[in-house]
Amino acid sequence: MSTETAAPELDDEDRKLLTLAKGAMGRAEAKTGAAVRDTDGRTYAAGPVSLAALDLSALQVAVAMAVSSGAPGFEAAVLVGTADDAGDPGLAALTEVSADAYAVMVAV
């Protein structure tokens, strides 16, 4: 996983994920946001879920949305947050589905 303190050099597809992750973060009024791209090119973006009965990181939610929609695998993920989010549990879910998927962390 790549960790950056500013927006890294991203290709157009990964910049799209960054935009989607930031948008999800803003809509959720959260400190983090995430977006994933599946192997079919579809994208999923999410903010974290923090309820008494359920606590999921933004990346966990994005991965779960994709898997529940039938995503066959993942190409990439972008996680927007703080450097502390580098140990996000969603990374394990991402690589469980696709060991060769890559993730980019952008600290804000």
What are 32-59's pLDDT values in tens digits? 999 999 999 999 999 999 999 999 999 9
pLDDT value of position 106: 92
In angstroms, the CA 32 to CA 99 distance is: 23
29: left (phi over 0), alpha (psi -120 to 50) or beta: left
pTM of the shown model: 0.88
